[in-house]
Each structure stands twice: as structure tokens, then as C-alpha cells.
Amino acid sequence: MLDKKTLEEFKQKLLDEKKQLENELAQLANKEGEGEYEAKYEDYGRTEEDNAEEVETYTANISITETLEKNLKDVNDALERMKNGKYGICEKCGKKEIRIERLKAYPAARSCIVCAEKK
């Protein structure tokens, strides 16, 4: 099991990541609700070129927003598991503990390496 000190370190890492993700999202998207974002549509101007650029930026924003949103959800879920005392236990098999090296590299990891590689 993870000791209290290690858990606290991971919690801090997750909270930092959450803040960073929320900052990045705030630049690209409007917040629609808790953990829900809608990509911003920026108005550059009226010419055809402006419009083409608007659509291009918007399309890129949507895909970045989706990725960030997913990462944010992973982080929020990890924090939730921490509250429930389930942090570090694989979500897929429910038995194996996620190796600490894996959590260090990615504190929001949901599954053990065996389950992650199955996918």
C-alpha cells in the first residue's frame, strides 16, 4: 500500500495538474459546468480568409479541448479515488495495485500495467 506521505505527494501533483489543465482549458474553451467545456469560437473578421482561419482554429480547439477535458477527468477521478481510499488500485481488475513507478510517471493512471497493455 502507498504510505501517507507518498499519497500526499501524489495528491499535490494531481492538484497542480488540475490547475494547469483548467488554465489551459480556460484559454481555449468556455466552462459549461464542472469539468465540462465548450471550445471557443473566435471571430477574426468578415473576409473569406478570416472565416477559413476561424474554422481552422475552432476545429483545432475542439480537439485540444477534448484531450484536455479527458485528462482533467482522469485527474478528478484519481482525486476521487484518493478520497475513497481506492487510489493506486487498478480500476479494471480491482485487485492489483498500480506500480509506484507508473504512478510517479502518471499519477492519474487508472489501471495496472497488465490491464493497460490488454487494451
Instruction: Kindly list the residues in this chain that would bind Zn ion in the complex (CB under 5 A).
Output: 90, 92-93, 96, 112, 115
Whole-number minimum distance, CB 116 to Zn ion, in Å?
A: 8
Please check whether residue 75 is in contact with residue 108, taking contact to mean a CB–CB distance below 8 angstroms.
yes
Whole-number Cα distances in Å, 93 to 64, 87, 118: 30, 14, 11
Whole-number minimum distance, CB 10 to Zn ion, in Å?
A: 18
Name the residue nearer to Zn ion (CB basis): 25 or 90: 90
Query: What DSSP state is assigned to residue 96?
Result: S
What is the enclosing helix (H) or strand (E) of 34?
Answer: none
In the numeric block, the cell 481506492 is attached to: 86
Name the residue nearer to Zn ion (CB basis): 62 or 116: 116
Whole-number minimum distance, CB 89 to Zn ion, in Å?
A: 9
Task: Give phi and psi for 33, each to the nearest 5.
Answer: 175, -175
